Chain A
Amino acid sequence: MTAYIIRRLFQLVIVLIGVTFITFMMLKLVPGDPAVALAGKGATQQRIEFVRHERGLDRPFYVQYYKYVTRLLHGDLGESLYTGLPVRDMITQAAPVTIQLAVAAVLIEMLGIPLGVYSALRQYSFWDTTLTTLALIIWGIPVFVLGYFAMYIFGLKLNLLPIGGAGLPYILWILPSSWESFTYLILPALTLGIIEVAYISYMQRASMLEVSRSDFIRTARAKGLSERKVIWGHGFKNAVIPVMTIAGIDLGALIGGAIITETVFSRPGIGLMIYHAIGQRDIAVIAGGVLFATFFFVFANLLVDLGYAWVDPRVRLED
């Protein structure tokens, strides 16, 4: 297990180096001369050259990349071209809002597992058909459609929940500080989470059905085990493995979904930050946001992989 974790951490480092390179290229390849932009409107040629030299923009490509990574390691992500604020501070402020939403969505997503198992155990029953049909419909609705719909009903018509904002401040980094603060989380988390619930429950149902037809389940029954032990002791663990894989891959979609959800609900998180930055061509902020999202994704994936190894001895004990 230790060897497995070390190997995964090593892979993680390589991925992160790759990502810094890509964000660096983003900054480099954007059209226009950054020195001109940095020097400001109406600057003299001399001033532009001075900025270019001062910022090291006249140095060779690899030196610039080296300096970029060094700055990153010191926590320096550059400044917003638009506001002049350090990108690091913008991310520190926005991150809890996004992470709160993502964690809430993942917790809701977990509901899909028992729902899928329930459906599978009562295949073709009324509830199975209902749940499966619902799952397919919800899965097919884009986040923004569902988001605006929920906002219209619960925010505008029923006036139960706030339709935008993040409910700041938080306690313990990401926890809502009060009921009122919590109400800001409900609509976006449900919007994002319920689509994932649909997806996960559908996958869990299929996986459970497949496992329940397998030979080792028949062996377990042939031993005389009770149906409960057959399903939970032998079936469930095997059936949840492929779902975990899917959930891991799906984390990427969750972050993408969080960006759209934040835009829909005007939550000042990383997603909304990137969205605005794109509109303003604020490259340093976009690069910083992408870097953050990648870190988050890679880290979450690592957690999923560790969970995977924990459940499946074939992964854990492999060489």
Chain B
Amino acid sequence: MAERLLEVKDLSTQFFTHAGIVKAVNGVSFTLDRNETIGIVGESGSGKTVAALSLKRLLPARPGQVVEGSLMLGARNLRTISDDEMRGVRGNDIAMIFQDPMTSLNPVMKIGKQIAEAITLHQDKSKREAWKMAIDLLARVGIPDAPKRVDQYPFEFSGGMRQRAMIAMAISCNPDILIADEPTTALDVTIQAQIIDVVREMQAQFNSGVILITHDLGVIAEIADKVMVMYGGRTVEYGPVDEIFYNAHHPYTWGLLASLPRLDASEKERLTPIKGQPPNLITLPAGCPFTVRCPYRRDECRDNWPELEIVAAEHGVHCWVPVDERQGLRVELPHFKEPVA
């Protein structure tokens, strides 16, 4: 039995704004074990990032608030520990890599100092030792000429190198959990592959659990062990990565898969978008948030949130369409007619 690192139960996060209460995350649950990678997918505004920031208590303090749920990091509940304890958790137990490496580093502080700062904070190391470790870390994430680079400022680094430096900073204290919030979105495709490799290598070295937030199913297929599909702040489906790709049960997951570009498609074929707009998080329906865009919606969808239905081992879905009907519908979908490469 793998060591359980994190257990999130019924997490709900809301933003109290002038326009109304933004229900960003609504009753999300998941677990993370050592050496495991969970991918959280969903479109912009589906609550992926807010869920991650809730874990680290990094929501903008005034409007954002975790209103429900328990966030257990081992025996500690991240919702109830003091701010001081939380600072110890940040960086040391849970580290995070952000989406945009161009703006995520302090422009007027040397790269080395930004890494060493995290080390001296959480470990009993002198400044000199921390600086040496920073050089070592930069070399490990694949930055050439690290002894020279450590002395430079972010503006002297390319985007890919900045993201490597961010990873170096994140792993500097050997965290149990690494949250990567769209780590490759701002980078070009070749660099994306490299960064994913670095994340994977670091996970192997430090035996961390990784939470990978992305809207890129390609990245998920590459690295994740299990997947959680979010829509309108809710988990609509979760399961092992192969189940999600080959045995998806939720119409929204189907839509995500169908919208992927395919190399074997003819030139005239267009990408299949999910019709409609992302939901307004202030006026979410009580039921399934995907209702208005769902081609298979029925009367009960809007007002009632369907119970969790286990369709295979570790594979759950929330949907009102009966399971046999779903299987029939899925066979009809273009992307399930032949295996996705």
Contacts and interface: CB of A to CB of B under 8 A. Distances in A.
Binding partners A and B: yes
A218 B58 contact: yes
Interface stretch (B98-106, B204-212, B311-319): B98-106
Contacts of B155: 313-314
Interface residues of A, number: 23
A224 interface: yes
A219 B107 contact: no
Interface in B163-220: 166, 169
A216 B121 contact: no
B117 A225 contact: yes
A110 to B, nearest CB: 20
Contact of B91 (A218, A223, A311, A314): A223
Interface string A283-314: 00000000000000000000000000001111
Nearest to A238: B108
B76 to A, nearest CB: 15
Interface in A203-259: 213-216, 218-226, 233-234, 237-238, 241
A225 B121 contact: yes
Given A214-B103, A223-B117, A224-B121, A313 B90 contact: no
Contacts of B122: 224
A224 B98 contact: no
B106 A221 contact: no
A29 interface: no
Nearest to A220: B106
B109 A219 contact: no
Given A219-B166, A222-B95, A314 B58 contact: no
B90 A223 contact: yes
B162 to A, nearest CB: 11
Interface in B103-125: 103-109, 117-118, 121-122
Interface string B294-330: 0000000000000000000000000000000000000
Given A222-B58, A223-B90, A224-B90, A216 B153 contact: no
A317 interface: yes
Nearest to B179: A222
Contact of B58 (A216, A221, A241, A311): A221
Given A215-B98, A224-B121, A313 B153 contact: yes
Contacts of B104: 215-216, 218-219
B89 interface: yes
Nearest to A226: B87
Contact of B109 (A214, A234, A317): A234
A239 to B, nearest CB: 10
Instruction: Please classify how large the interface on chain B is, using the bins under 10, 10 to 19, 20 to 34, 35 or more.
Output: 20 to 34
B273 interface: no
Contacts of A314: 107-108, 153, 155
Given A218-B58, A219-B98, A313-B153, A224 B88 contact: yes
Nearest to B113: A233
B100 A223 contact: no
A244 B91 CA distance: 33
B98 A311 contact: no
Contact of B105 (A216, A224, A237): A216
Contacts of A313: 108, 153, 155
Contacts of A222: 56, 58, 90-91, 95-96, 98
Q: Chain A: interface secondary structure? A: helix
B92 A218 contact: no
B90 A216 contact: no
Contacts of A241: 108
A88 to B, nearest CB: 44
A223 B87 CA distance: 8
Contacts of A225: 87, 117, 121
Contacts of A234: 106, 109
Residue among A216, A314, A317 having the largest count of chain B Cβ atoms under 10 Å: A216
Contacts of B58: 218, 221-222
A215 B96 CA distance: 12
Residue among B88, B98, B108, B117 having the largest count of chain A Cβ atoms under 10 Å: B108
A284 to B, nearest CB: 47
A213 B60 CA distance: 9
Contacts of A223: 90-91, 117-118, 121, 169
B77 to A, nearest CB: 18
A179 B71 CA distance: 65
Contacts of B105: 216, 219
Residue among A213, A218, A234, A311 having the largest count of chain B Cβ atoms under 10 Å: A218
22 contacts: A213-B60, A214-B103, A215-B100, A216-B106, A219-B106, A219-B169, A221-B90, A222-B96, A223-B117, A223-B169, A224-B88, A224-B90, A224-B91, A224-B92, A224-B118, A224-B121, A225-B87, A234-B109, A237-B108, A238-B107, A314-B107, A314-B155
Given A213-B60, A218-B58, 19 more contacts: A214-B103, A215-B104, A216-B103, A216-B106, A216-B107, A219-B166, A220-B106, A221-B58, A222-B90, A224-B89, A224-B90, A233-B117, A238-B107, A238-B108, A311-B108, A313-B155, A314-B153, A317-B153, A317-B156
Interface of A: 213-216, 218-226, 233-234, 237-238, 241, 311-314, 317
Interface of B: 56, 58, 60, 87-92, 95-96, 98, 100, 103-109, 117-118, 121-122, 153, 155-156, 166, 169
Question: Top 3 A-B pairs ranked by shortest CB distance?
Answer: A224-B90, A224-B91, A215-B103
